[in-house]
A and B are shown apart, each in its own frame.
Chain A
Amino acid sequence: MEQHSQHFKENAARALADASAVAQRDILALFTPLMREAAVSEFGDFAALRDHVKKMRQHTLDNLDYYLARFELEATNNGNRIHYAETAEDMNSIVLDICQQHGARKVAKGKSMVTEETGLNDFLQRGGMEVLETDLGEYIVQQAGETPSHIVGPALHKTQQQIREQFLENHDLGERDLESIGDLVGEARTVLRDHFLEADVGIIGSNALIAENGYSMLVTNEGNGDLCANLPSVLIICTTLDRVLPRAEDATAIQRLLVRSATGQPQTCYTSFYSGPRRAQDADGPLETHIVLLDGQRTDILASDYSEMLRCIRCGSCLNHCPIFAATGGHSYGWVYPGPMGSVLTPLLTSLEASEALPNACTSCGRCEEVCPSAIPLPDMLRDLRHEQSVQKITPASWRNGLRLHAWIATRPRLYQALTGIGISLMHRLGGKKGGFSKLPLASGWTSKRDFPAPQGETFMRQYRRRSQSNER
């Protein structure tokens, strides 16, 4: 996918200028945390499960080769064909090859952020395939020629009215009102139904690959994933190799965390396990199944200081709790993954330069880490990325030098106190009467939006030293 992260600040300013979109995001930012909170508090010992899953994920990642080999063995025994893709391009070519080998023309696709990452849809379309997204949110976004704004709810940026107008314009279905959400869903279902039946290949993602039995788990609310997986004669599961887990019960443990964190539901409508192609005794199912495992720099991340990021289960909770995501919306981040997890992943999967603003789009408020079901230290990672930006001199020199000068002075207490003593008294003399400054040299970032409150008077240190001296006398 094309990257626009370089323009994060401009994107954000534009997003903030759209009052109705801001209002819609404000509502989501208020309610999605409440929904999660309700589900989590009903669950019982969520913290214990979170801790267990964190350890289980970390253990798996620490022994990834072993579990991948086991998964490959079991999945192959079940009749799946396993493909390893080093890069995004490799994944796209493998998928197109499979489609072409079957003379396919139509592809039905379930929701998959990995294929957003690789730009699979465009690639297949250029290869002559007709590709239709079948998750409602993805369908809406694809039809609008947009990209997902949220990893769980791709079309959360759209209002009901916008979707209604889009459907009336795009679906040639005659006179109709489409007044209710039910009408909209019904219409999408009608349009998509034919496509499911006509599709030659189905493509879905995976929430977990289970090493002990070679199954792939998919968690959805619409059941479209199951139609993609079961109706076309060929199924391709596109995912990354870090999705593997040891046991079936580990996958269900993830599922319990994932769903509550993502939507605040106790359970999604569908949780499916795909074992492989149709067997002789099965009534239906695909005749051929492929699992394409993308590395896409995951092994690099695994070997880096950011390996914990691979524990992410893509629940979107960090997005829902991030006040910066709420302010800017997902599109401002300019690539596939927005919000705190995106601000860590995007620099790792693209480049630190192209994503310069993202690690800085953080106040270290810690809300993301607090709710992350995988207990990923997102604020620490974002700060570490800022450190790398400074080391690589991607951070503007003025910032680096200013902060280093501050630190240099702060380790010279006498100098520090002499300078601040003079400076603060001067500022008080200039601004104390009024109480603040509307402009201040060297603080234009601050004063562009707020006044700079005037210091109260002399520094504490000056006052305190004077008091202690007069007490001694």
Chain B
Amino acid sequence: MSESINPRVSLFVTCLADLMRPSVAFASIRLLEQAGCIVDVPLQQTCCGQPGYNSGEYEATIPIARQTIELFEHAEYVVAPSGSCAGMICHHYPKLLDGEWRERALALAEKTFELTSFLVDVVKLESAPAVSTDLPPITYHDSCAGLREMGVKDQPRQLLKTLCDVEINEMQQSDVCCGFGGTFCAKMPDISEKMVDDKLRNAGNSGATLLTGGDLGCLLNIAGRARRQGLELEVRHVAEILSGDLYSPAIGEGD
């Protein structure tokens, strides 16, 4: 760890972790604490506003952005277990807002991070309690916003290597969109289907039986399609794997 004083992290849970998969948020808290952080969870948080924003509902999104800024701007660090929510705060709030709010958005952007890049680049988590080393063959989907907006590429791989001692079975086109795209998948289901099927084919060809990634939106899409197709592919968020949580049902798996 770079600093002697414990960094204070406010967790941006993300609405998908809150609603669909709380284990991702609990795993994030455990990982951050293992890295020596003091974690708090602001209780008034809801959603970063991507659904409306990406669909061009800018006016409706502005109050959400302001609410998030007010809630998190006094934090030392803000960490989200999602590249796209972190990207929304870091890159899109400043585009959406003007004047004083834009300044405040930029200040928040300075200290907001995606989880795995925060763990590697900022607090330099290098060891953690040993977690299961008998993981199935695993492949990694690079979610678009994490990769291109937040520069998340090596960090999750490095953590999987150092904390879990696993190498990734890299799939072809791991950095190509899975077809989720928020409302896109509902607006253009045929095209989205083709894209997610390509992702599943590439994942299957890698020899992996466990697919992971850093964004629940993509993972829900991939898992939902795998389930529809009856494919034997386990899908889990990378935070869950890193914190050793492999026993709760995978995404889309029954209790």
User: Which A residues contact B (CB, under 8 angstroms)?
Assistant: 9, 12-13, 16, 22, 26, 30, 323-324, 327-328, 357, 360-367, 369-370, 380, 383-390, 395, 399-400, 403-404, 406-411, 413, 416-417, 420, 424, 432-436, 438, 443-446, 448-461, 463-465
Bound CA–CA A460/B220 (angstroms):
17
Q: Is A449's CB under 8 angstroms from B183's CB?
A: no
**B-chain residues with CB within 8 Å of residue A411 when the two chains form the complex:** 46, 63-64, 67
Residue of A361, A370, A453 touching B252 (CB-CB under 8 A): A453
**A-chain residues with CB within 8 Å of residue B26 when the two chains form the complex:** 460
**A-chain residues with CB within 8 Å of residue B160 when the two chains form the complex:** none
Number of A-B contacts defined by CB within 8 Å? 217
Bound CA–CA A365/B145 (angstroms):
7
Q: Is A420's CB under 8 angstroms from B19's CB?
A: yes
Does B172 reach chain A (CB closer than 8 Å)?
Answer: yes
Q: Is B22's CB under 8 angstroms from A457's CB?
A: yes
Q: Is B176's CB under 8 angstroms from A367's CB?
A: yes
Shortest Cβ distance from residue A276 to the other chain B in the assembled complex, whole angstroms: 45
**A-chain residues with CB within 8 Å of residue B51 when the two chains form the complex:** 403, 406-407
**B-chain residues with CB within 8 Å of residue A459 when the two chains form the complex:** 18-19, 22
Shortest Cβ distance from residue B68 to the other chain A in the assembled complex, whole angstroms: 10
Does B57 reach chain A (CB closer than 8 Å)?
Answer: yes
Shortest Cβ distance from residue A462 to the other chain B in the assembled complex, whole angstroms: 9
Residue of A366, A386, A395, A403 touching B144 (CB-CB under 8 A): A366
Q: In the complex, which residue of chain A has the Cβ closest to the Cβ of B173?
A: A30
Does B20 reach chain A (CB closer than 8 Å)?
Answer: yes
**A-chain residues with CB within 8 Å of residue B19 when the two chains form the complex:** 420, 424, 455, 459-460
- 18 interchain pairs (CB within 8 A)? A9-B190, A22-B194, A328-B191, A363-B177, A367-B148, A399-B183, A406-B47, A417-B46, A420-B18, A424-B20, A432-B254, A435-B254, A443-B186, A446-B186, A450-B228, A456-B22, A456-B249, A461-B13
Q: Is A327's CB under 8 angstroms from B254's CB?
A: no
Given contacts A366-B145, A410-B49, A432-B255, contact A360 B188 (CB under 8 A): yes
Shortest Cβ distance from residue A264 to the other chain B in the assembled complex, whole angstroms: 17
Q: Is B64's CB under 8 angstroms from A366's CB?
A: no
Q: Is A384's CB under 8 angstroms from B227's CB?
A: no
Does B61 reach chain A (CB closer than 8 Å)?
Answer: yes
Q: Is A395's CB under 8 angstroms from B55's CB?
A: yes
Given contacts A364-B54, A364-B145, contact A445 B186 (CB under 8 A): yes
Shortest Cβ distance from residue A336 to the other chain B in the assembled complex, whole angstroms: 21
Bound CA–CA A17/B82 (angstroms):
34
Q: Is A362's CB under 8 angstroms from B181's CB?
A: yes
For window 124-164 of chain B, which residues contact chain A by CB distance below 8 Å? 144-145, 148-149
**A-chain residues with CB within 8 Å of residue B25 when the two chains form the complex:** 460, 464
Given contacts A361-B191, A386-B56, A403-B52, contact A460 B181 (CB under 8 A): no
Does B214 reach chain A (CB closer than 8 Å)?
Answer: no
Q: How large is the interface on B (under 10, 10 to 19, 20 to 34, 35 or more residues)?
A: 35 or more
Q: Is A453's CB under 8 angstroms from B224's CB?
A: yes
Q: Is A410's CB under 8 angstroms from B224's CB?
A: no
Bound CA–CA A449/B55 (angstroms):
21
Q: Is A367's CB under 8 angstroms from B177's CB?
A: yes
Bound CA–CA A160/B190 (angstroms):
28
Bound CA–CA A386/B52 (angstroms):
11
Q: Is B60's CB under 8 angstroms from A450's CB?
A: no
Bound CA–CA A417/B183 (angstroms):
22
Residue of A323, A399, A450 touching B221 (CB-CB under 8 A): A450
Does B170 reach chain A (CB closer than 8 Å)?
Answer: no
Does B5 reach chain A (CB closer than 8 Å)?
Answer: no
**B-chain residues with CB within 8 Å of residue A453 when the two chains form the complex:** 20, 220, 223-224, 227, 251-252
Does B193 reach chain A (CB closer than 8 Å)?
Answer: yes
B3-17 Cβ-contact flags toward A at 8 Å (1 or 0): 000000000010101
Q: In the complex, which residue of chain A has the Cβ closest to the Cβ of B67?
A: A411
Q: In the complex, which residue of chain B has the Cβ closest to the Cβ of A412?
A: B46
Given contacts A366-B145, A390-B56, contact A436 B224 (CB under 8 A): yes
Does B95 reach chain A (CB closer than 8 Å)?
Answer: yes
Q: Is B63's CB under 8 angstroms from A363's CB?
A: no
Q: Is A435's CB under 8 angstroms from B249's CB?
A: yes
Q: Is A16's CB under 8 angstroms from B190's CB?
A: yes
Does B205 reach chain A (CB closer than 8 Å)?
Answer: no
Does B225 reach chain A (CB closer than 8 Å)?
Answer: yes
Interface centre among A390, A403, A416 (most CB of B within 10 A): A403
Does B180 reach chain A (CB closer than 8 Å)?
Answer: yes
**B-chain residues with CB within 8 Å of residue A410 when the two chains form the complex:** 15, 46-47, 49, 64, 67
Shortest Cβ distance from residue A367 to the other chain B in the assembled complex, whole angstroms: 7
Residue of A16, A361, A366, A395 touching B56 (CB-CB under 8 A): A395
**A-chain residues with CB within 8 Å of residue B173 when the two chains form the complex:** 30
Q: Is B57's CB under 8 angstroms from A456's CB?
A: no
Bound CA–CA A131/B176 (angstroms):
41
Does B123 reach chain A (CB closer than 8 Å)?
Answer: no
8 extra interface residue pairs, beta carbon distance < 8 Å, beyond A367-B144, A367-B175, A407-B57: A9-B188, A361-B191, A362-B184, A363-B181, A410-B47, A413-B43, A443-B186, A446-B189
**A-chain residues with CB within 8 Å of residue B179 when the two chains form the complex:** 323, 363
Residue of A12, A380, A390 touching B55 (CB-CB under 8 A): A390
Shortest Cβ distance from residue A21 to the other chain B in the assembled complex, whole angstroms: 12
Q: In the complex, which residue of chain B has the Cβ closest to the Cβ of A22?
A: B194
Shortest Cβ distance from residue B226 to the other chain A in the assembled complex, whole angstroms: 8
Q: Is B177's CB under 8 angstroms from A451's CB?
A: no
**B-chain residues with CB within 8 Å of residue A384 when the two chains form the complex:** 56
Nearest 4 CB-CB pairs, A to B? A363-B181, A445-B186, A386-B56, A387-B56
